[in-house]
């Protein structure tokens, strides 16, 4: 679904170059659940923005569903993004003067979809995130967890196949964070590809594949089998999530395979 090859991104800061991504290569299959962890400034958000077609690399290649994205103009990139990719950010990014319903409806309006279709899709996703009774509330009338669930509803209203979450629980208490995780993991169980950037080790551990970034490079990339049943529990609090039973010996990580052979 996603293939990055030798992606580089350098920012100019005060006249000197800062390499945010160095030769990053990565392949992601449909339905995967990845977490991206690593120190502040290691390039996690830059990588996510690259995958989300919000940013362009200086060099390297990126195929999304076999489409070479670097060859697309901005309009076609925006189309590919709108049809396939949903985003969730730490700070929700909702529009304060619109109701929850209108915020969720926005991507469909921008895509020019008819009102009847919009009404039905928004009603469906509001129910999926458990907020049917909050549709007419404005953002300032909602709690943090509810705001993030509105943002999730907005991210999925166009039925994307890839969901990118940058610190989705960063501004939430553990109970609200648990609700948000329940919703996005349920979407992954239903088939959406999920990439979560987080500083929260317990959240990161819940993914089936763990990527660690250091200094703009992928430092490790491990697949893990989650045997614990708590991944399916509803209303899980982050603080309730003890270490899940991870068998990291069974890994498809090329680097570590090479290292051990
Ligand atoms: N627009 C920009 N202009 C200049 N430098 C940038 C820009 N965006 C990111 N950087 C730099 O690139 C590096 C990687 O940034 P990035 O935001 O990807 O880090 P991160 O791993 O997401 O960090 P955090 O955990 O703090 O969110 C950092 O050193 C950052 O200062
Ligand atoms: Mg970041």
Question: How confident is the model over 121-163, as pLDDT tens digits?
Answer: 999 999 999 999 999 999 999 999 999 999 999 999 999 999 9
Which pLDDT band, with edges at 50, 70 and 90, does 47 fall under? very high
Mean local confidence (pLDDT), 40-66:
96
Quote the CA–CA distance of 231 and 208 in Å, as a whole number: 11
Distance 186 CA to ligand 1 centre (A): 30
Residue 231 pLDDT exceeds 60: no
CA max distance for the chain: 59
Work out the average pLDDT over 170-174. Answer: 92
pTM of the model: 0.86
Check residue 226 and give its pLDDT: 52
Number of domains in the chain: 1
Provide DSSP, 142-201.
S-HHHHHHHHHHHHHTT--SEEEEESTTTTS-HHHHHHHHHHHHHHHHTT-EEEEE-S-H
User: Ligand 1 atom closest to Cα of 43?
Assistant: 18
Domain harbouring 38, CATH code: 3.40.50.300
**Atom 17 of ligand 1 has which residue's CA nearest to it?**
45
In a domain, 61, yes or no: no
Contact 22, 153 (CB under 8 A): no
Percent of the chain with pLDDT over 70: 86
Tokens of residue 129, six digits: 């995130």
Closest ligand relative to 54 C-alpha: 1
Q: Is residue 207 part of a domain?
A: yes
Chain-wide mean pLDDT for the chain? 88
Domain limits at 222?
A: 32-56+66-260
User: Is 244 part of a structural domain of the chain?
Assistant: yes
Q: Which of 39, 46, 218, when mutated, tests ligand 1's pocket best, judged by the most ligand atoms within 8 Å of its CB?
A: 46
pLDDT 10s digits, 7-37: 999 999 998 999 999 999 999 999 999 999 9
Is the predicted pLDDT of residue 236 greater than 50, yes or no?
A: no
Q: Give me ligand 1 centre to Cα 43, in Å.
A: 6
- Residue 23 inside a domain? The answer is no
Task: Identify whether 22 is part of a domain.
Answer: no
Residue 11 is assigned to a structural domain of this protein: no
Identify the pLDDT of residue 224. Answer: 83
Is the per-residue pLDDT at 250 higher than 60? no
The total number of residues shown for the chain amounts to: 261
Q: Which atom of ligand 1 is nearest to the CA of 47?
A: 18
State residue 77's pLDDT score.
95
Classify residue 12: in a domain, yes or no: no
Is residue 248 scored above 50 in pLDDT?
no
Contact 148, 129 (CB under 8 A): no
Residue 218 in any domain: the answer is: yes
């Amino acid at each position: 679904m996603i293939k990055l090859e030798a992606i580089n991104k350098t920012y100019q800061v005060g006249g000197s170059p800062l390499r945010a991504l160095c030769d990053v290569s990565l392949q992601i299959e449909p339905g995967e659940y990845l977490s991206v962890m690593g120190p502040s400034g290691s390039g996690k958000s830059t990588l996510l923005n690259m995958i989300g077609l919000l940013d362009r690399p200086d060099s390297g290649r990126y195929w999304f569903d076999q489409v070479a994205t670097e060859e697309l103009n901005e309009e076609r990139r925006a189309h590919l993004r709108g049809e396939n990719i949903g985003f969730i950010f730490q700070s929700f990014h909702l529009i304060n003067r619109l109701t929850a319903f209108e915020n969720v409806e926005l991507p469909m309006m921008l895509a020019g979809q008819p009102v009847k279709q919009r009404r039905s899709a928004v009603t469906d996703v509001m129910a999926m995130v458990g907020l049917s009774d909050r549709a007419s509330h404005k953002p300032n009338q909602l709690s943090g967890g509810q705001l993030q669930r509105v943002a999730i509803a907005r991210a999925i209203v166009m039925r994307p196949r890839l969901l990118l979450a940058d610190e989705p629980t960063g501004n939430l208490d553990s109970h609200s964070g648990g609700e948000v995780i329940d919703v996005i993991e349920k979407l992954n169980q239903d088939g959406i590809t999920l990439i979560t950037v987080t500083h929260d080790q317990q959240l990161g551990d819940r993914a089936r594949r763990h990527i660690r970034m250091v200094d703009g490079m992928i430092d490790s990339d491990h697949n893990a089998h989650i045997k614990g049943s708590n991944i399916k529990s509803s209303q899980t609090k982050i603080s309730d999530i003890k270490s899940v039973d991870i068998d990291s010996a069974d890994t498809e990580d090329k680097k570590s395979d090479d290292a051990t052979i």
